[in-house]
Homo-oligomer: A and B are copies of this chain.
Amino acid sequence: MGAICVFRGFMPFVYLRTIRFADTDAAGVVFFPNYLAICHEAYEESLAAAGIELKTFFRKHDVVVPVSKSQAEYLRPLTCGDKTSVTLTPALVGTDSYAIDYAVHRLGRPDKLAARLHTEHVCISSVSRERRALPAAILAWLKRHSA
């Protein structure tokens, strides 16, 4: 497919996010569970950018892809008004599962890594809750953003 395609074969998704007052807690910084919610926003945005309808994807599909595991490493506090970027890199794990790595940077001169997160997702039937193969739209999204 040529050099440019090899070069563009891997394209992590980048989401820009300003830290909001609602994200913070009485310690004056982002409440640690909210990092997961902020990364989920990046995930939503990347799905929408791949043409996936969020309204149905997170709600009424035959199959759902709940988060089965999460990990987070909190490296630097973030405060209201901070500009951040969330870099999302998904990876296929099996025919019914994928994982996502997130890096949250506080933008500045220079940018600083503020947190690293990781989530794992398993595709299941919304009725029986048995494992199901990933839908084609998700496979396309994975192909677009995976290493």
Contacts and interface: CB of A to CB of B under 8 A. Distances in A.
A48 B35 CA distance: 22
A45 B72 CA distance: 23
Contacts of A31: 21-22, 37
11 contacts: A20-B44, A21-B44, A24-B25, A26-B26, A26-B80, A33-B40, A58-B80, A66-B74, A68-B74, A69-B71, A70-B70
Copies in the complex: 4
Contacts of A25: 21-22, 24-26, 58
Interface in A24-42: 24-29, 31-37, 40-41
- Which size bracket describes the interface of A in this complex? 35 or more
Interface string A43-59: 01100100001110011
Interface of A: 18, 20-22, 24-29, 31-37, 40-41, 44-45, 48, 53-55, 58-59, 64, 66-74, 77, 79-82
